[in-house]
Amino acid sequence: MPQPIVYPDDVIRLLVAFGLGAMLGFEREFHHKFAGLRTIILICVGAALFTIFSLKIGADPARIAAQVVTGVGFIGAGVIIHEGGEVRGLTTASTIWMAAALGIGAGSGYLLFSLIATLLALLALWMLPRLENVITDIRVIRMYRITTASDEAARAHVLEQFRKAELSVEQESEEKRGIEMICVWIARGSPEAHQRLVNELLADPQVLAYERSMPG
């Protein structure tokens, strides 16, 4: 009896891989990332194909999967950019890596499990950035260079202003210049807390001068 050229199960696995890749790719495309809809779909379907072929020809699926991961690593490295001392593209590179994993899962027949993994990946891509923004808003870091009279009472007074503004603070350095003392402080807290401190510093007669900047 002749063997069918196309196996329905394999077609379903490819279609599922296509759909999972489209879900991730749409998110990347929506945010105008380097690896968008077509790229993620092709990676996911390609990984599924490699997995299906390895099962059909009797090759070691684990070895094929390892080679897929290695190959995808080169693609992921291509979207990582170093710019202005910052690293960009790590999330897109991770999405490419995830798409390959989903393709391997779909090609192996783990369709529902791969779908659940895709939904978790979308949750991380859509919801967690909002949580990160909330964390950033409540943990803004600023450096304050404050000049006061050169005595311990003035220093303690300034420290109390930080505490009243509800900022977490640590002293970075201290320098005496004649009758003046310049202290550099690193403060962490919400934008509102930093603004409260600025208002207090502007109205405080014991503060002779101050500067606020980003640390680093």
pLDDT in tens, 151-167: 888 888 888 899 888 88
State the Rg of the chain over Cα. 28
> What end-to-end distance do the CA atoms of the chain give, in Å?
74
CA distance 160 to 174: 17
Residue 72, both tokens: 């995808």
Helix (H), strand (E) counts: the chain: 8, 6
pLDDT at 8: 87
Burial label for 101, CB within 10 Å (0-12, 13-18, 19+), is: buried
pLDDT-based confidence at residue 34 (cuts at 50, 70, 90): confident
CA distance 13 to 105: 9
For residue 85, the tally of other CB atoms under 10 A from its CB is 6
CA distance 36 to 30: 8
By percentage, how much of the chain surpasses pLDDT 70? 91
CA distance 50 to 47: 5
pLDDT-based confidence at residue 83 (cuts at 50, 70, 90): low
Statement: residue 85 has pLDDT above 70 = no
pLDDT at 51: 92
Q: Which amino acid is at 55?
A: L
Q: What are the backbone angles phi and psi of residue 33, rounded to the nearest 5°?
A: -90, 165
- Please tell me the class of the 137-213 domain: alpha beta
Statement: residue 170 has pLDDT above 80 = no
CA distance 184 to 174: 6
How far is the CA of 8 from the CAs of 4, 58, 129, in angstroms?
9, 19, 39
Statement: residue 72 has pLDDT above 70 = yes
For residues 7, 13, 17, 19, the Cα torsion angle rounded to the nearest 10 degrees is 100
Find the mean pLDDT for residues 125-142: 74
Instruction: Considering the chain, tell me which residue range(s) the CATH 3.30.70.260 domain(s) occupy.
Output: 137-213
Decide if 186 contacts 128 (C-beta within 8 A): no
